[in-house]
Amino acid sequence: MTADSTAVDPELRSGLGGEQWNDGPDEVTVVFTPSGLAGKIPARSTALEAARQLGVDLDSVCGGLGICGRCQVVPGVGEFPKWAITAAPDHITGPGSIEADYRGKRPIKDGRRLGCGLQVIGDMVFDVPAESQIHKQVVRKGVDLEGLTVDPMITLHYLELAERDPEDGTSLSVQIIDQLAEDWSIDATGFRFELLADLQAATKDRTLTVAVARADRSVIGIWPGFVDRALGVAIDIGSTTVAGHLCDLTTGEVLASAGRMNPQIRFGEDLMSRVSYVMLNQGGDRELTVAIRTALGELVAELLDEGRRQDSSITERHLLDVVLVGNPIMHHLALGIDPTPLGQSPFTLATDRPVHAEATAVGIDAPLASLYFAPCIAGHVGADTAAAILSEGPHRSEAIQLLVDVGTNAEIVLGNNRRLFAASSPTGPAFEGAQISSGQRATAGAIERVRIDRSTLEPRFKVIGCELWSDEHGFEAETAATGITGICGSGIIEVISELFLSGVIDTQGVIVGEAATRSARILPDGRTFSYHLTGRIAVTQADVRAIQLAKAALRAGIDLLLEHARLGSVDEVRLAGAFGAHIDPVHAMVLGLIPDCPIDKVRAVGNAAGSGAVRAMLSASQRQEMERAVDRVTKIETATEPRFQELFVAALAFPHLDAETPNLAAAVDLPPRSAAAAERGGPKRRRRRRSPAKD
């Protein structure tokens, strides 16, 4: 039965509840909520046919054969003055064999009917539940997709091929294209090459499901019988971790999430050390490419295995789309492109456009999956930043937003819906525990939270894997299994901030030797001093310097963008990335990691790049929005900016050599500013605030 048919044969009439058939008007009025779409339709049309005729967002994969269960509606009964309709129970046919025989995965809930299983024989109002809509709100799991509406890039269509004369000679591909046009009004353009070998087997029983790419209307997937799963994987390739999400492309449901360490770490902790490895070792680029492609393949296999725990029918052939994001060096290495031009000025990208390929090209065992690598922005601002912009939406906001993805290479975005600026700063791996004497990655046993008594200088802390503070009863028992193994990035930020607030560290970042008279935890360490959190775990002067250098690089990049935007302040700050998600806003501001801002306007947003990648996979409109936003960004290259070094030196001080901090001062008691800062500070760096749009 085609979408616009109105004639109902006796067999189908029985399936639709023919016993309630009556002779009524030729046309009836139907209204669908919540869209409010309404109109006249031929009497005896199904609710699904009415929805298609009126352009209502009602899902269906089987095309009205009562197989998929996606087209469920809720009939409304009573007076509806808004539309001048009186809807009665007998204005629709009762349940028939279609609904009685339905055995799909989606149960028919109380009060609902299959849109394909009832006919409208009088004026009616139908409500379309959220889960029955094509452009539905997503089901969230481990990734922030708030406000995202699924806008499918790939659609599934069940077909029953019409019988043909044995002498007809029409090819299977043409038969499928003809059936798509007849049943779904889709003018398919052709088949991807990899499918041609599958056509005979898939059409053996004359029933099949095909996947059609919305962009070019090509058939990109084919399976025998009825299939209602089309899957996608979105992956954020970080320099330290690689994180991915498996999603149902038609419902938006996040089925599985997983992550793993980037195996390239063995070639260098930070990006530039990996570029140096390529420069110094013949074939080094190939080694790095093989390493990351192996990780991508293993991660996708892990995600599919997790998906199979929920649906045993899932195979690699259900995976149709893979979206990748990453910084420019990860982008180039994953695609097999020499990254060495990104290690020296002018830091030229091989391409900043979106890359389209087959997923198998990057080592992912998914024979039908297409690959989309999101666009890069500049030589050191990559596709991960493009995805973070999409997720956090500075381009959609009137407020001036500062978006910072804190990692071994920090990406910074500043602006609003008028103008956007972006840059990167080489913070190095200190924030992730590397280059710190007792530093480690954020794993069980690592100190992640620290508070220091301002009078006694005694610490209390929390470790990953235990909810208790170290001075609470039961802490030792709770941590016996893991021990206290080191201090991770968020712990380093907090302990140095607390030491500064306690007067142990001065504005210039020096551990004050006189503080040793206040606490036995402050001990001589060569020509300097160190503060001991435990007998074994200490914060040394070298640790403080490593954090100073990292935070100054980040802050100088931020200040540089503020200068280019001619701004003196920001309205809100978003801290992204695995590390950013665990930074306490007050402690970040104490260090001067971010500029002064109302504390309640600073928040961690987790893996914004990963969230943006999922959005770009589930929504065609959001993918286009990301590409448009990237084209609007003004790129600032910190490595070639003459002001960067001066801003860097000023940012070495805690919180900052001369920037005012009224919001921070209202939240905590800050130590007196140094004489040098007081002499230099204030007026000459304050600017009248202007909108970036007025530059």
Q: What confidence score (pLDDT) does residue 682 get? A: 42
Structural domain contains residue 4: no
Q: What confidence score (pLDDT) does residue 583 get? A: 84
**What percent of the chain lies above the pLDDT cut of 70?**
91
pLDDT digit string, tens, across residues 272-310: 889 999 999 999 999 999 999 999 999 999 999 999 998
Q: Is residue 676 predicted with pLDDT exceeding 50?
A: no
Structural domain contains residue 139: no
Alpha carbon distance 163, 206 (integer Å): 8
Structural domain contains residue 578: yes
The CA-atom distances, in angstroms, between 267 and each of 272, 340, 549 are 10, 14, 23
Range of 613's domain? 396-429+547-684
Co-location of 365 and 460 in the same domain: no
Q: What is the CA radius of gyration of the chain?
A: 30
CATH number at 86 reads: 3.10.20.30
Co-location of 192 and 320 in the same domain: no
Q: Is residue 74 predicted with pLDDT exceeding 90?
A: yes
Q: Is residue 10 predicted with pLDDT exceeding 90?
A: no
The band of 222, judged by pLDDT with boundaries at 50, 70 and 90, is very high
CATH number at 281 reads: 3.30.420.480
Structural domain contains residue 414: yes
Co-location of 414 and 561 in the same domain: yes
The token pair at 130 is 């959220």
Structural domain contains residue 3: no
Domain boundary residue, one of 541, 558, 573: 541
Co-location of 128 and 85 in the same domain: yes
Alpha carbon distance 637, 177 (integer Å): 50
The band of 15, judged by pLDDT with boundaries at 50, 70 and 90, is low
Structural domain contains residue 183: yes
Co-location of 403 and 277 in the same domain: no
Domain count, the chain: 5
Q: Is residue 2 predicted with pLDDT exceeding 50?
A: no
pLDDT digit string, tens, across residues 448-472: 999 999 999 999 999 998 999 999 9
DSSP state letter for 665 = H
Q: Is residue 5 predicted with pLDDT exceeding 80?
A: no
pLDDT digit string, tens, across residues 538-572: 999 999 999 999 999 999 999 999 999 999 999 99
Domain boundary residue, one of 508, 541, 574: 541
Q: What confidence score (pLDDT) does residue 20 get? A: 47
pLDDT digit string, tens, across residues 85-136: 899 999 999 988 899 888 888 888 888 999 999 999 999 999 998 788 887 6
Domain boundary residue, one of 541, 566, 595: 541
Overall average pLDDT of the 255-283 stretch: 89
Q: What confidence score (pLDDT) does residue 674 get? A: 54
Overall average pLDDT of the 668-692 stretch: 53
Q: What confidence score (pLDDT) does residue 136 get? A: 61
Co-location of 49 and 90 in the same domain: yes
The band of 23, judged by pLDDT with boundaries at 50, 70 and 90, is low
CATH number at 618 reads: 3.30.420
Overall average pLDDT of the 411-439 stretch: 86
The band of 474, judged by pLDDT with boundaries at 50, 70 and 90, is very high
- Of the two residues 322 and 149, the one the predictor is more confident about is 322
119, 93 contact by CB (below 8 A): yes
Q: Is residue 380 predicted with pLDDT exceeding 60?
A: yes
pLDDT digit string, tens, across residues 480-524: 988 999 998 889 999 999 999 999 999 999 999 999 999 999 999
Q: What angle separates helix 541-565 from helix 489-501, to the nearest 10 degrees?
A: 90
Structural domain contains residue 382: no
Q: Is residue 139 predicted with pLDDT exceeding 60?
A: no
Overall average pLDDT of the 166-183 stretch: 90
Sign of the C-alpha dihedral computed for residues 591, 595, 601 and 606 taken in this order: negative
288, 277 contact by CB (below 8 A): yes
Structural domain contains residue 138: no
Co-location of 41 and 88 in the same domain: yes
Long-range contacts from 4-8, C-beta under 8 angstroms, 24+ separation: 4/49, 4/52, 4/53, 5/49, 6/42, 6/44, 6/45, 6/49, 8/44, 8/119
The band of 693, judged by pLDDT with boundaries at 50, 70 and 90, is very low
Instruction: Quickly count helices (H) and strands (E) in the chain.
Output: 19, 31
Co-location of 285 and 352 in the same domain: yes
Q: Is residue 9 predicted with pLDDT exceeding 50?
A: no
Mean pLDDT taken over the chain: 88
The band of 687, judged by pLDDT with boundaries at 50, 70 and 90, is very low
- Of the two residues 57 and 144, the one the predictor is more confident about is 57
3-class SS of residue 385: helix
Bridge partners of residue 222, in order along the sequence: 210
Co-location of 421 and 485 in the same domain: no
Co-location of 558 and 628 in the same domain: yes
Co-location of 121 and 236 in the same domain: no
Q: What is the dihedral of CA 464, 468, 471, 476, to 10 degrees?
A: -70
Alpha carbon distance 465, 241 (integer Å): 20
The token pair at 10 is 């006796």
32, 56 contact by CB (below 8 A): yes
Co-location of 166 and 282 in the same domain: no
The token pair at 57 is 């967002």
DSSP state letter for 641 = -
Long-range contacts from 15-19, C-beta under 8 angstroms, 24+ separation: 15/66, 15/96, 15/97, 15/98, 15/117, 16/46, 16/93, 16/96, 16/98, 16/117, 16/118, 16/119, 17/93, 17/94, 17/95, 17/96, 17/117, 17/118, 17/119, 18/93, 18/96, 19/94, 19/96
134, 140 contact by CB (below 8 A): no
Alpha carbon distance 423, 427 (integer Å): 12
Phi/psi at 160 (nearest 5 deg)? -120, 105
Count of CB atoms situated within 10 Å of the CB of 100: 11
